Structure formats: C-alpha cells, structure tokens
Chains A and B, each alone.
Chain A
C-alpha cells in the first residue's frame, strides 16, 4: 500500500469514527447565496427553490436533506432534457465538491417544495433547513421572488 492510499484510509477511518469531530469545522464551510423561491400562481402546490451552495473546505460535503416548517416536504431534483423531452430526476443527496459552488438554477438543479403552509407571494420568506454529511446544519431564509425571464437566463451570481 502506497503512502497516498494509507493517508486516504487513515482519513476515512478518522472520519468514520469521528464524523463531526475537530477534524471538520463546526460551521462556516458551507455558505449560501442568492437563495430564492420562484413565485407561482396561488393554486400551484409545488414550488421551486434555488440557491448557490458554496463549499469552502478542502473536502467534498454532501447535502443530505432539506426540510422546512413552511412545506410538507422538500426534495432535490434536476430537470433533465432528453432530446425534446424534459423530466425531473430526484437526487437522493447532492455532493458539493471541495472548494466549489453548486448552483441550483431554473431548468437545472432545484429544490422541489411541496404544499406551502400558506400562499407565498413575492416578498415573503420561507425557512429552509439544510443538513450536511459533515454533521453541520444550516438554516436560511429564502425570499419569494417573481423574476423576469431575463433574470432567469442571466443567472445571478
């Protein structure tokens, strides 16, 4: 076994034994920007949420679950275009690679937000709880917005 493999194995064992130990920072490794929920007609019971999730650490962190007091359930989906057909693929988890940003944006990765507890209008906010594989949890407020299509295609960063 070479040195690299030995190092990886040691890291793996440490992380398995001490998942949220001093080896990983308590917080500050994952940060969010531009978290927003697309306003929809009041009769629509499924909304889409978007955000940029940044992992500042030097190891991959996986988003495990998203929950909210404002929605009955939240799933991570990706809109996939196959020829002319679009379908949504549920993602059980979402890896945020080291030193990287995953962008949830229209027509791509998004949060599927089921059954809002009240009709959400532009300007409202909803609470989203994210739990990560490093044991870290983050709660953010996402703003409900009605963005024009130009905003969609320009991808705020």
Chain B
C-alpha cells in the first residue's frame, strides 16, 4: 500500500491536491485579514466611511436671528437633530438625551456643539427656538428661518420631513427624521446615530467615530 502511494501513479495527484490546499489556505488567510480590517470600520456603529458626504454651503438663521451656515460648523463636531417644538414626545425626549450626553462629553470635547434644526420654522420663530433649545442646555443652538433655508440643509443631509397640514391649520403634526447626524470639523457628515437614543450609546458612538476620524488624518 505504502509502496503504491509513493509510486508515481499517486504522486502527481497528491501534489496537485497539496498545491490546491495550500493555495486555498492562502486565500482564506488573506480573506480573513481583509474581513478583519473591514470589521475595524464596521464595528463603529453609524460611521459613514470611507466616503463621508461633504456638506456644502447653506444658509439658515440661528435662535438669535443671526446667519448660520457651514462656517459655523467648521472646526467643531456638530450633533444635529431635525425636529419641531410642537412635537411633544420624540423631540423633547431626544433633546433631553442630547443634554445628558453633551454634559458628559463637553468636558473633554470643547469643540462640540448640539444643533436642533426646526423643520417647522413657520411656528418655530427664533424667539421660540431660543427658549426651546436653551431649556435643554444654554449652549445648544436652534436653527430655523424659513423652509427654503432649512431645505438647503435637509436636502444635503438627506432627511425628509412632511408637514401634515391637510386637515388642521393650527395643530398640524410633522413627520421628521428621528436620527441624530454627526458632522466633523471639516464639515463632513461622518455619522448617523439611530433611535432609540440613549446617553451611553451616544457617548460611545461619538467617541468611537471621533477616534476613528482622527486616526485617518
């Protein structure tokens, strides 16, 4: 039997099998390595990489009625949430989570800003926005102006909203995005934090995304 194996009749097929096995193992190892480096990116939940969207110039008004645009985002990490102040449930809960997260993060992240952008600027005048956002934290920024202005921002970030004005005139509801978007100091949309929002989750995601982005530069 052994003698037969070592004979040339079996040697060539055996070598061929060995060669195939070795090649497969090589493929397997390089595949694993590729997967691992992919995982380093994909374990950062909510990260938009490698092609984060560059935010272009836009023009809205802040809670003091002053112009606010891309320049006010440059050099800062911005959390931005799109809502409206007549929203009794999801918006105040989200803002309250943001307030707690901001408080925990701002000590080590002086370049952090939290923005509440109203998709209902008709009712959310600068005065109302000012009182609304400062209730949650005096540092928070409220953006509005008019729908055309707000659309210059929502269009780029890719959030939709809908004013349910068909039946009621005064108490209409607004469908809006429940996610919080993260813009880096270069004005790139690098992350999206999906609901349900929780303080510890936001802190973790922000820290991971920020560290990842800082490692790239």
Q: Do A and B come from one complex?
A: yes
Binding site for B on A (CB under 8 A): 38, 40-48, 77, 79, 81, 84-88, 106-107, 110, 112-114, 147-150, 152-153
Cβ-based interface call for B196 (8 A) = yes
CB-CB under 8 A from A40, the residues of chain B are 88, 92, 135
Are A153 and B196 in contact, with the CB atoms below 8 A? yes
Given contact pairs A149-B97, A150-B199, A77 touches B85 in the complex (Cβ within 8 A) = no
CB-CB under 8 A from A77, the residues of chain B are 89
CB-CB under 8 A from A149, the residues of chain B are 93, 96-97, 99-101, 197-199
Interface of B is mostly: mixed
CB distance from B61 to the nearest CB of A (A): 17
CB-CB under 8 A from B132, the residues of chain A are 41, 43-44
User: When the two chains form the complex, which single residue of A38, A43, A81, A86 contacts B85, counting CB atoms closer than 8 Å?
Assistant: A43
CB-CB under 8 A from A42, the residues of chain B are 131, 135
CB distance from B137 to the nearest CB of A (A): 12
Complex Cα distance, B128 from A46, in Å, reads 13
CB distance from A92 to the nearest CB of B (A): 14
Binding site for A on B (CB under 8 A): 85-90, 92-93, 96-97, 99-101, 127-128, 131-132, 135, 159-160, 162, 171, 173, 175-179, 194-199
Given contact pairs A85-B177, A150-B100, A110 touches B88 in the complex (Cβ within 8 A) = yes
Are A106 and B93 in contact, with the CB atoms below 8 A? yes
Complex Cα distance, B159 from A35, in Å, reads 34
Complex Cα distance, B88 from A88, in Å, reads 10
Complex Cα distance, B99 from A107, in Å, reads 17
CB distance from A91 to the nearest CB of B (A): 13
Are A38 and B92 in contact, with the CB atoms below 8 A? yes
Given contact pairs A81-B178, A148-B100, A87 touches B173 in the complex (Cβ within 8 A) = yes
CB distance from B199 to the nearest CB of A (A): 5
Are B176 and A86 in contact, with the CB atoms below 8 A? yes
CB distance from B201 to the nearest CB of A (A): 9
Are B88 and A38 in contact, with the CB atoms below 8 A? yes
CB distance from B108 to the nearest CB of A (A): 20
Are A113 and B100 in contact, with the CB atoms below 8 A? no
